[in-house]
């Protein structure tokens, strides 16, 4: 069902996948299981995790550089780099979502034609495919 489409994990869903997979919806879990070779983590999620870890808002069993790469390897996640078209895309979005990390994920998803794995209702208001 999802094989031909890349899935972009929002930051929280990446953390859930790695640490608390039972929090994922059945639909999201099935999409992840079916599309293992097509699941991407954005550089913006790595940045968000680093910022939250440094500020003490996110606890991890090891520093982000180690933990994120271990999880990417375990789950076989590809990496989506931030490109200038993604940056410009954030300025072309309606201000539905105020979170800059989520706005970047939306811009990346739209630019790359990906589905986003997220329960965020604000993200779902943009013209993109959401899996949850």
For the chain, the average pLDDT equals: 93
Domain of 82, in residue numbers: 7-131
1 located within any domain:
no
Number of domains in the chain: 1
2 located within any domain:
no
pTM for this prediction: 0.90
What tokens were used for 24? 């994922």
Shortest CA distance to 15 belongs to which of 97, 82, 101?
Answer: 101
Q: Concatenated DSSP letters for 72-117?
A: HHHHT-EEE---HHHHHHHHTS-TT---HHHHHHHHHHHHHT-EEE
CA distances from 33 to 76, 87, 113, 121 (A): 11, 30, 20, 23
Please report the pLDDT score of residue 33 as a whole number.
84
Give the model confidence (pLDDT) of 99-132 as tens digits: 999 999 999 999 999 999 999 999 999 999 999 9
12 located within any domain:
yes
Give the model confidence (pLDDT) of 1-53 as tens digits: 444 568 999 999 999 999 999 999 999 998 888 755 689 999 999 999 999 99
Q: Which CATH number goes with the domain that contains 60?
A: 3.40.50.1010
Backbone φ and ψ of 62, nearest 5°: -150, 165
């Amino acid at each position: 069902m999802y094989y031909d489409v890349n899935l972009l994990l929002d930051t929280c869903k990446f953390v859930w996948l790695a640490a608390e997979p039972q929090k994922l919806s059945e639909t999201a879990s099935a999409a992840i299981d079916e599309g293992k070779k097509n699941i991407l983590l954005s550089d913006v999620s790595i940045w968000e995790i680093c910022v939250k870890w440094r500020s003490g808002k996110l606890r991890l069993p090891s520093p982000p550089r180690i933990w994120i790469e271990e999880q990417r390897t375990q789950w076989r996640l590809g990496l989506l780099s931030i490109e200038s078209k993604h940056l410009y895309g954030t300025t072309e979005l309606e201000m539905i979502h105020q979170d800059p990390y989520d706005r970047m994920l939306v811009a990346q998803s739209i630019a790359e034609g990906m589905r986003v794995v997220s329960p965020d209702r604000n993200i779902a208001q943009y013209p993109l495919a959401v899996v949850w």
